[in-house]
Amino acid sequence: MERFVQSIVAGGVVLVGACWLVVLADGGSAPWLVGVALALLGTGAVLAGILSELEPGAFAVGEE
């Protein structure tokens, strides 16, 4: 499997698990804070996987 796909899938799995942890834990508790940190990590992994496959200037507007 391609590395960027692994990053996107792993980040998504971590993100889903983190969301469950945040929902089930009491707000402000240690497990809740771990869930928030994991959600940020999962989001970062998904974004890193997506951005690693984009060409430089992919979002340039008006430059052809």
User: In the structure encoding, which two tokens stand for residue 47, read together?
Assistant: 């974004």
Number of structural domains the chain divides into = 1
Q: Which of 4-13, 19-28, 31-40, 55-64 has the lowest mean pLDDT?
A: 55-64
Please report whether residue 56 resides in a domain: no
User: Is position 60 within any domain?
Assistant: no
For residue 36, give its domain range.
Answer: 3-51
Distance CA 28, CA 30 (A): 7
Q: What is the mean pLDDT of residues 51-61?
A: 81
pLDDT at 12: 96
Mean pLDDT of 6-26: 96
Structure tokens at 28: 């402000």
Query: What kind and span of H or E run contains 6?
Result: helix 3-24
Q: Evaluate whether residue 64 is within a structural domain.
A: no
Give the predicted TM-score (pTM) of the model: 0.81
For residue 9, tell me if it sits in a domain.
yes
Residue 12 domain-assigned (yes or no)? yes
Burial 28-48 (b: 16+ CB within 10 A, else e): eeeebeebbebbeebeebbee
Looking at the domain assignment, is residue 19 inside a domain? yes
